[in-house]
């Protein structure tokens, strides 16, 4: 198992890509801190991990709340004594065309998708530097590479986390800490399930692979990047999109 002995904290870890990543990391031998704002979904994720023999603890973490993040970090260190990987996955969408977007819509997306990534990474970086090892993984999006109609706030946040990732790779790489951004394309998560079937069908037709992605396909990439097998990958921006952006 490629993550045996490692400790990972995963935000948005109880649903969608985060849930699949938590389960995958545990299956690969990692001890997993499942961080989410939904306690019911967190309990379900923990039960799933434990039922397969994995080790995990749950934490209520709103990534805009530094006190909750600090409590999670304290709990993880007390339980396992290290943090080898943080997966910054928590995020929201509040779509509107620019002419209709409110300040509240813009600010909430930026606070969670961008400032939340900063908050969580800032909370663990000193631990990783002391260990002289660590991996910072962040969920960006193909929207963070190419923009998207009606997503001024979301695109801004996902472009920005790529910039932070590249900066952290330069600052921290010589100290044993890697930073990588992953850009999923159209992935069948609960967010997409709210869309009409015809819209989903039209989205799938735009993908050379002919279908939407699965959350576990993104989780597989995260697991590889968190492992020692990916030790020379740093500052990369990796698309997982079925070839959509070709």
Per-residue pLDDT tens for 101-159? 999 999 999 999 999 999 999 999 999 999 999 999 999 999 999 999 999 999 999 99
* Beta bridge mates, 134: 177
Residue 2 has pLDDT above 80, yes or no: yes
**How far is 197 from 95, CA to CA, in rounded Å?**
19
Give 65-100 as a DSSP string.
Answer: -HHHHHHHHHHHHHHHS---EEEE-------B-GGG
| pTM beyond 0.85 | yes
Q: What order do you get walking across the sheet with 7-11 strand by strand?
A: 55-60, 31-36, 7-11, 85-88, 134-139, 177-184, 237-240
Percent of the chain with pLDDT over 90: 89
Active site residue 59: no
pLDDT at 203: 79
Residues 6 or more apart whose CB falls under 8 angstroms from that of 243 comprise 207, 208, 209
Residue 200 has pLDDT above 80, yes or no: no
Name which of 107, 87, 54, 64 is nearest 184 in CA terms.
87
Q: What 8-state DSSP symbol labels residue 173?
A: G
pLDDT at 12: 98
Residue 91 has pLDDT above 90, yes or no: yes
pLDDT digits (tens, 9 = 90+) for 25-49: 999 999 999 999 999 999 999 999 9
Residue 195 has pLDDT above 90, yes or no: no
pLDDT at 19: 98
Give 41-54 as a DSSP string.
Answer: HHHHHHHHHHHTT-
Residue 197 has pLDDT above 90, yes or no: no
CATH superfamily label, 7-240: NAD(P)-binding Rossmann-like Domain (3.40.50.720)
Catalytic residue (choose from 59, 118, 146, 154): 154
Q: Going along 134-221, which residue ranges are E strands?
A: 134-139, 177-184
What phi-psi label fits residue 134: left (phi over 0), alpha (psi between -120 and 50 degrees) or beta? left
pLDDT at 196: 74
Query: In the chain, where are the structural domains located?
Result: 7-240
Residue 194 has pLDDT above 70, yes or no: no
């Amino acid at each position: 198992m490629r993550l045996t002995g490692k400790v990972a904290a995963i935000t948005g870890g109880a649903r969608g890509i985060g849930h699949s990543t938590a389960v995958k990391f545990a299956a690969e031998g990692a001890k997993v801190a499942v961080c989410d704002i939904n306690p019911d979904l967190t309990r379900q994720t923990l039960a799933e991990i434990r039922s397969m023999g994995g080790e995990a603890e749950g934490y209520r973490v709103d990534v805009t709340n530094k006190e909750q993040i600090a409590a999670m970090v304290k709990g993880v260190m007390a339980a396992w004594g290290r943090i080898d990987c943080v997966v910054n996955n928590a995020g929201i969408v509040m779509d509107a065309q620019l002419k209709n977007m409110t300040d509240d819509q813009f600010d909430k997306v930026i606070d969670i998708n961008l400032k939340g990534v900063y908050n969580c990474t800032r909370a663990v970086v000193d631990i990783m530097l002391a260990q002289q090892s660590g991996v910072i993984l962040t969920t960006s999006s193909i929207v963070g590479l190419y923009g998207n109609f009606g997503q001024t706030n979301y695109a801004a946040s996902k472009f920005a986390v790529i910039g932070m990732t590249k900066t952290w790779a330069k600052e921290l790489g010589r100290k044993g800490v890697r930073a990588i951004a992953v850009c999923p394309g159209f992935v069948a998560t609960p967010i997409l399930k709210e869309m009409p079937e015809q819209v989903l069908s039209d989205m799938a037709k735009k993908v050379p692979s002919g279908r939407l992605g699965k959350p576990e396909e993104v989780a597989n990439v995260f697991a590889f990047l968190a492992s020692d097998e990916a030790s020379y990958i740093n500052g990369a921006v990796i698309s997982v999109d079925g070839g959509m952006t070709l």
